[in-house]
Amino acid sequence: MKKIMFNDKYLLTESVLKGIKTQTRRIIKIKPEVLRKFQDEYYTATLDFLEGLDLIQAYFLNNPQKIPYKVGEIVAIAQSYKNAGFNPNSLIPTGDGHKIAAYNHKGWTNKMFVKPELMPNRIQIKGWRIENLQDISDEDCLKEGIIKDMRYYFRENVKQTTGDTLVLRCNYDTPREAYADLIDNVSGKGTWEMNKYVFAYDFKLVG
């Protein structure tokens, strides 16, 4: 089983667990030389010279094993063992035939090190498509976790201050403005403007 990570600072894991966030975009990473090789091979076989989005789509349709998450796949939501509610003294396999107490495991506070099969919450992939990041619709911005109230669209993030956790709210006039700022904070400043190709996944919470 695979695991998938959602950003905790911007409360995206919580948004998924509440059923608010039902979509996620993941930037496509593919080496230029690999894509050029496929482009040449595809042209040789079909006499159809593909570029841009058409090329990216054709590459993954012809190489489905390269798609990170498949339709119908059950994927574990990564949470630290502490946040997932594990008993500190529960035993976690270390991979070498031994077990250690959860509170001594690296995954106690760092979800990068947790075992997917031990995660209590999971999603199922309902569908995927490839598009440019800025192709996102207002409706899909809401599926990405942007929240609407009576006047504004907003996102939330957590700020630690002297041991206290505060939830800060940032308001925007449109869902796209809110999502653009969110993706820049999650994936790095300038991500929205670069308008890279992404996998857009639809999913549902299954437990």
- The residue-averaged pLDDT of 172-187 equals 93
> According to the model, what pLDDT value does residue 168 have?
72
> CA 202 to CA 182: how far, in whole Å?
18
What tokens were used for 139?
């409706």
Q: Which residue has the tokens 């991500």?
A: 191
pLDDT single digits (tens) 67-99? 999 999 999 999 999 999 999 999 999 888 899
Residue 140: closest CA among 200, 184, 190, 191:
200
Residue 20: closest CA among 154, 111, 129, 134:
154
Domain ranges of the chain: 3-78+119-139+193-205
Say if residue 160's pLDDT is above 60.
no
Q: Which residues pair with residue 100 across a beta bridge?
A: 92
pTM, full prediction = 0.90
> CA 172 to CA 195: how far, in whole Å?
20
What single string gives the DSSP state of each residue in 135-154? Answer: G--HHHHHHTT-EE-SS-EE
Contact residues for 193 (Cβ-Cβ < 8 A; gap 6+): none
pLDDT single digits (tens) 116-150? 999 999 999 999 999 999 999 999 999 999 988 75
pLDDT single digits (tens) 9-67? 899 999 999 999 999 999 999 999 999 999 999 999 999 999 999 999 999 999 999 99
